[in-house]
Amino acid sequence: MSDQQEFPDNPDDYTEAEHIEHRSTGKGLALPGQNLPDKVYVIPIHNRPFFPAQVLPVIVNEEPWAETLDLVSQSGHHSLALFFMDTPQEDPRHFNTKALPEYGTLVKVHHASRENGKLQFVAQGLSRVRIKTWLKHHRPPYLVEVEYPHQPTEPTDEVKAYGMALINAIKELLPLNPLYSEELKNYLNRFSPNDPSPLTDFAAALTSATGPELQEVLDCVPMLKRMEKVLPMLRKEVEVARLQKEISAEVNRKIGEHQREFFLKEQLKVIQQELGLTKDDRSADLEQFEQRLEGKVLPAQVQKRLEEEMNKLSILETGSPEYAVTRNYLDWTTSVPWGVYGEDKLDLKHARKVLDKHHAGLDDIKDRILEFLAVGAYKGEISGSIVLLVGPPGVGKTSVGKSIAESLGRPFYRFSLGGMRDEAEIKGHRRTYIGAQPGKLVQALKDVEVMNPVIMLDEIDKMGQSYQGDPASALLETLDPEQNVEFLDHYLDLRMDLSKVLFVCTANTLDSIPGPLLDRMEVIRLSGYITEEKVAIAKRHLWPKLLEKAGVSKGSLSISDAALKALIDGYAREAGVRQLEKQMGKLVRKAVMKLIDEPKAVIKLGPKDLEASLGHPVFRNEQVLSGTGVITGLAWTSMGGATLPIEATRIHTLNRGFKLTGQLGDVMKESAEIAYSYVSSHLKSFGGDPKFFDEAFVHLHVPEGATPKDGPSAGVTMASALLSLARNQPPKKGVAMTGELTLTGHVLPIGGVREKVIAARRQKLFELILPEANRGNFEELPDYLKEGITVHFAKRFADVAKVLF
């Protein structure tokens, strides 16, 4: 057989005259029921049965069916029978004739061709066919004698109704699956709609039923039965197609929403670029950075660096890592407010109002801040300066910093140095690191958008040190007005002027601040509040704030001044007001519990109501110890001032000795030794028995042994206790003292005069002995602290002894 076998062209293209001519010569298309051959060759097919209504390509193996097709091409009718086999034979040469179904389809063969071991031809279904006798069945080609089933020509009404139902089902199927539209057009061109048999076969061929199910339709010759089989199959196909369409529609809807948005955005980008309304990512970034620099005054070095980085950005690929690094650098550098300065409000009356509004008391601190502002007002600008606010917790250091910023009309930025161990937090990481960032100061300038904000460095005494560096040393360059004109951040690697920034630092103590750093700061001490100040703060600030936080009206809940005073004395004696706020918060919460049960109640809190809400007072009125060998000293702690009783007693007279207790630090122990030596050697001049200490074993104790105590300021107090013991005479009552004693009897100055005076007032001690060198410190105190207090200033220990004995 040649590669392209000669078969007739598509018979649909013939004219009626040609059809007649072909029929008369026996070569043309045999129409159903006319000139059908009685002997034909058989080829089995395996996918699904072939129906008389179909025109489809068929592919079979060249071996063993090439000879069969050769013989068909030589026959006058060019037809063969296709029979469906559900399970292919292992060897087609040994054919099991019983494996074939009863009916197959007679097809006309067109356009046979051979390629890659396969034979392909277009098969045009003509009629059902049944094998009468096998003429040749031992090996291909298989030849059979066939007969054709007889079908009634006139369809009944029932058949017509089924035909209409099939056509309606096909109409429903078409919109659901457009693949069938071509097949339907092909069918309508070739068959009359009134012919029910091809219609039924065509409807069956449209379905996706299995091969055996379709073979049942082919085997069913009676028209009505065949239609009854096909209609449910077609309805099922319609339902499957509808369900599939719904599922596809839902999936497409979900995908489509995202795709539509994506496509529209992409189209919008392209349209905007075409119209010049927008730029690509790189152009947009560069434009944004250039806009940020408008109105800024850039130093020459910064201008040069920015131009270099922008040129670099313009040639980099947007997807490269280097692009992201450069873009990040430009983002930070252009965010710094180069040369942008805010205008200061240099109005001292306004500043005084702001300070008074936010703070009760602290008059000396307010005066100090106003002096600082006055210098700026006189000069016309406040140049950078470093203020260090030192004081116990809760006295309002942070809020003083905020008030300074508000009174100047400058933006305020606060960050805490507590626990900071990495100097990169201050000066930034170098750009060599992954995830490098500038330091906190650059971040602060970016946020406040001016070069002269108030920056608060909180908890400067709580910085740490680690292998990552020493942040305290990094702060030296930052805070020194001589150096910070050219502050260098490691990330930006550009000099910037911090000299106009007002730094406000806070600390609880000065002990842990390195000397060189402390030397650059102006120290302002906040020493805590006396009871009267705390009452004012509680009434003006804390109580209204707590009521607002709890949503309670002023008419529903109030507290008397006497209750506030009792609250401060019994539960909140610390220097600051944080503990006071906590205890008041507890009172408000307890009151709210009552208001929930009785919404219309009016609660007034008096001194007697405190114990029910807060329990027993934490602080009792300390009994000032008195008697021979007992003296009241004054001490300073990080929490404020405190009274410090010191007791001395003689244990026995068997031998000379001196014992110290009370968890004392080294300096305090030395002070005790000095006091013992001085009093022992000068006992006669102070009117005591010179031999007293030669025979006595003396024990000196500082009560509250669980609390560590240190410092030289108890020297005078210890010497007075020893002198009282040696003279066997109690000291004058109601006197408290402080001062450092030397071996030669001089009284040296001490620190914390304000805190110590406050502590004495709290204990109702109104007669004090202070070193002569501290006279100035005492006279600087506000009048309300000095009121009613008698102070004796001592140069030598003899001055102390005169007052006491």
138: which DSSP letter?
S
What string of DSSP letters covers 471-519?
Answer: HHHHHHHHH-TTTGGGEEETTTTEEE--TT-EEEEEES-STTS-HHHHH
Find out whether 405 and 411 touch, Cβ atoms under 8 Å: yes
Residue 435 marked ligand-binding = no
Element (H or E) spanning 658, and its range? strand 657-661
Q: Is 570 annotated as a binding residue?
A: no
Q: Please state, in angstroms and rounded to a whole number, the distance separating the CA atoms of residues 76 and 790.
A: 146
394 among annotated binding-site residues: yes
Tell me phi and psi for residue 282, to 5 degrees. Answer: -65, -45
How far apart CA 626 and CA 39 sit, in angstroms, is 143
Which amino acid, residue 68? T
Interstrand relation of 118-136 and 494-496 (parallel, antiparallel or unpaired): unpaired
Residues in a beta bridge with 652: 697
Output the CA angle 406-513-483, nearest 5 degrees: 65
Angle, helices 281-292 vs 321-335, to 10°: value is 20
Compute the chain's Rg from CA coordinates: 54
Residues forming a β-bridge with 412? 454
Residue-level length of the chain: 805
Q: Give me the helix-helix angle, 321-335 and 300-315, nearest 10°.
A: 150
Note whether 588 and 546 are within 8 A (CB).
yes
d(CA 745, CA 742): 5
397 labeled binding residue = yes
The DSSP result for 761-800, as a single string, is HHTT--EEEEEGGGHHHHHTS-HHHHTT-EEEEESBHHHH
The set of catalytic residues is 713, 756
Residue 156 is labelled as binding a ligand: no
Of 734, 771, 775, nearest to 750 by C-alpha is 771
Determine whether the annotation assigns residue 764 to a binding site: no
Dist CA 424 CA 767 (whole Å)? 53
Contact partners, residue 283, CB within 8 Å, separation at least 6: none
* Rounded CA separation 3/393 (Å): 104
Q: Is the CB of residue 588 less than 8 Å from the CB of residue 550?
A: yes
Q: Check whether 393 is labelled as a binding-site residue.
A: yes
**354 is annotated as contributing to ligand binding:** no
Known binding residues for ATP are: 391-398
* Binding annotation: 391-398
